[in-house]
Chain A
Amino acid sequence: MMAGQKLKELLIRAFRLYTLLVTLITVLMIILGNLLDRDRVFSYEAFFSPLLYALIGTAAAMVTRSDREPSVRNLIVRKIASLLLIEGAMILLALNSDSIPTEKSWVIPGLVLGVLAVFVLSHLILFLIDRKEAGKISTDLARYQEKQMSGSNL
């Protein structure tokens, strides 16, 4: 396969994951913020947070990906490494941020659980997108087979 096409597929996957993570992180922040820290006031800079966190998540997923076809075991290990990398990065970011009240006991566990929820949800949604794509391939395949069969009968 051409390198350009491969790069295009990679960028599409990365962009798809990024937009998905931005959405999920925004939703998670709204839910957790409303439940746990309703009175907190942010500046407009807060709008950048989901974009930055999603970038970290996407970078971690891209760093741990490989062109080699992994076995199921390798794949699980790689996913766990990816999750730990994201969790570590987010905790470091939270500890160094003035706007995240890490002194409160629920913040770090909440963050860890939130990242886990986003990680699981993003994989679930990507699987559903792949399922839709597989359905489209199956339809195209049936059409291709029909065309080949009718062509061979000419």
Chain B
Amino acid sequence: MKLEVRKIPENEPEMVEVRYHWITDEIQEIISFVKSRQGQLSATRDGKRFEVPVVDLFYAESVDDRLFLYTAADSYEIRLKLYELEDLLRNKSFLRISKSMIVNLMKIASVRPALNGRFSAILKNGEEIIISRKYVPALKQVLKGGDS
């Protein structure tokens, strides 16, 4: 794939143009990356494509090598790996809370103890998800002002 990076005058708008023959995984990954930088994620639901605003995302969960995004009421599938999404959402208030899940810290209503040193996060839509104990120190660090 040919890559062209060109400096333009300041009065012209900056833009990324993707020219393709077919939407391959590679092309989709590039599009997803650019959209995530703009605050949106390209995902599918019932075979239809949707642009999901990152701010609406509650959490993302990897299930059987497939990655699902959850908003207040809907779920979508996204063609990324969990670690790739984690990288995309770094510094956007998202944090890994278990081996298979990252959560939007802005969507947690409260935290309460679960069993065996784990904690449950009660989300603002009433859903409850488990924070694994090995990720609790990282959560505390972020809340105290460390990097997310």
Contact = CB atoms under 8 A, between A and B. Distances in A.
B143 interface: yes
A88 to B, nearest CB: 22
Contacts of B118: 69
Given A9-B134, A145-B105, A145-B106, 13 more contacts: A9-B133, A67-B134, A72-B115, A75-B115, A127-B113, A133-B113, A134-B119, A137-B119, A137-B139, A137-B143, A140-B143, A141-B111, A144-B143
Interface string A123-154: 00011001101100110110111001100000
B140 interface: yes
Nearest to B116: A75
Interface string B42-76: 00000000000000000000000000000000000
Nearest to B110: A138
A138 B117 CA distance: 16
Main secondary structure of the interface of A (DSSP, over half): helix
Most A CB atoms within 10 A — which of B105, B130, B138, B143? Answer: B143
Interface in B93-148: 93, 98-99, 105-106, 108, 110-113, 115-119, 130, 132-140, 142-144
A143 B142 CA distance: 12
A101 interface: no
A110 interface: no
Main secondary structure of the interface of B (DSSP, over half): mixed
Contacts of A131: 112-113
Interface residues of A, number: 25
16 contacts: A6-B137, A9-B137, A13-B117, A67-B134, A69-B98, A69-B133, A72-B115, A130-B113, A130-B117, A134-B110, A137-B139, A138-B111, A140-B140, A140-B143, A141-B105, A148-B105
B125 to A, nearest CB: 15
Interface of B: 93, 98-99, 105-106, 108, 110-113, 115-119, 130, 132-140, 142-144
Interface of A: 1, 5-6, 9, 13, 67, 69-70, 72, 75, 126-127, 130-131, 133-134, 137-138, 140-141, 143-145, 148-149
Given A69-B99, A70-B116, A145-B105, A1 B134 contact: yes
A70 B132 CA distance: 10
A130 B117 CA distance: 7
Contacts of A6: 134, 137
B116 A140 contact: no
Contacts of B144: 140
Contacts of B130: 69
Contact of A134 (B93, B113, B116, B137): B113
Given A69-B99, A137-B143, A141-B108, A5 B137 contact: yes
A148 B106 CA distance: 8
